[in-house]
Amino acid sequence: MDVNYVVGLFSKRIPKNIEIKNTSHGDDDFREALFVDFGNEKIVIKLSSNGFTDEKHLILWERIAKEYRSLGYYCPQYIRALDGTFPTVLYKGRNCIAWGEEFSKYRSAEEVINDKFSDTKLVKDGWYMFLEDAMIMDAKVAACHFNYTDLPSAYCMFDVFDPGDKCDETTEDAEKWHTIAKTLPESFSVQVDRIWNNWLEARKELEKIYHKLPTSVFQADINDTNVLLDEDGNFKGVYDFNIGGREVYINYIVRQAPYVSTAETYERLEEDDTFLKRVLHALDIAKKVYSFSDLEKKAAPLLYKCIRPLWWHASIELKEAGTDDTKIHKHLDAIEYEQTRDIDFLSHM
């Protein structure tokens, strides 16, 4: 089916122009967006073929956007086909599910920054200036404890987001590191085993309480490409809900906060305790409108021990160390330090 046929499923009007943007993530995750200009109105029609975009998820993401709007935040509305469905179409040789979205009346933070704030990047004290408002939004959503779905967000632990995944991403990252670590010279084996056992023990303790922790239903992707700002750089809302779902709030904070603070390189998170500082700052922001439970306070250090030491960048760093014993020692010592250090989470919760 060509693009005009797809557009015709959502509107009887003849488009003046259609721009196509491909945002695929490999052969198994096809995504394409049609920016349709009718002259006096624009809409976006999206097509996806992957393991996690289906009618059930689209109905969920439509609901999430609705709930965010009810809290006073701008989110483009979802648009169903003229027959009231999210249709599946044969498009570019793939069976794709299609849906429409209102063309956003605000631009993404990335676009606004590049266009109007390239000098400051809207960064102050190491954080995007708009991020506090975005995290307050998440905390308000968390305080609602929405419970209208069992579909997890992409940040899930002890569960999978894509049915094709073998395990959650945190476990996948740790196992990837362990696979590489087991190939190190035997002189490192005692420390590698100790690190791995530390991780397994933290995961075991976390699992005992994890499913009792407070949850809500989140958009779950507040990076600078999805946060919406007005032309003065003020936070207005979010779009792009395609990794959204039900999530343990404290897990969501630890998993997300370090990465969305600025557009810095991931290596920067390894410096000056930046990873931890961003997590603690996010907790400080959240507690302005959210009351952390005793169980969340108990879970925080266990989550940190599961997530931070063997996060996805750890396997990259170990690979880059090659056969340099000094670099390997430094890498392993840093991981074990993160696993065993005493962190005062309570004063930030």
Distance (Å, rounded) from C-alpha 317 to C-alpha 330? 11
Domains of the chain (ranges plus CATH)? 3-105 (3.30.200.20), 108-348 (3.90.1200)
What is the chain's length?
A: 349
Distance (Å, rounded) from C-alpha 322 to C-alpha 329? 12
Q: In terms of Cα–Cα distance, which of 254, 244, 228 is closest to 146? A: 244
Burial of 17 (0-12, 13-18, 19+ CB in 10 A): exposed
Distance (Å, rounded) from C-alpha 170 to C-alpha 207? 13
Is-contact 271 243, C-beta < 8 A?
Answer: no
pTM of the model: 0.93
Query: How do residues 198-249 score in pLDDT, each as one tens digit?
Result: 999 999 999 999 999 999 999 999 999 999 999 999 999 999 999 999 999 9
Per-residue pLDDT band for 263 (boundaries 50, 70, 90) equals confident
Q: What is the DSSP string of 135-200?
A: HHHHHHHHHHT--S---B-TT-SSS-SSTT-SS-HHHHHHHHHHHHHTTS-GGGHHHHHHHHHHHH
Distance (Å, rounded) from C-alpha 263 to C-alpha 243? 20
Mean pLDDT of the chain: 95
Estimate to the nearest angstrom the gap between the alpha carbon of 218 and the chain centroid.
Answer: 10
Per-residue pLDDT band for 267 (boundaries 50, 70, 90) equals confident
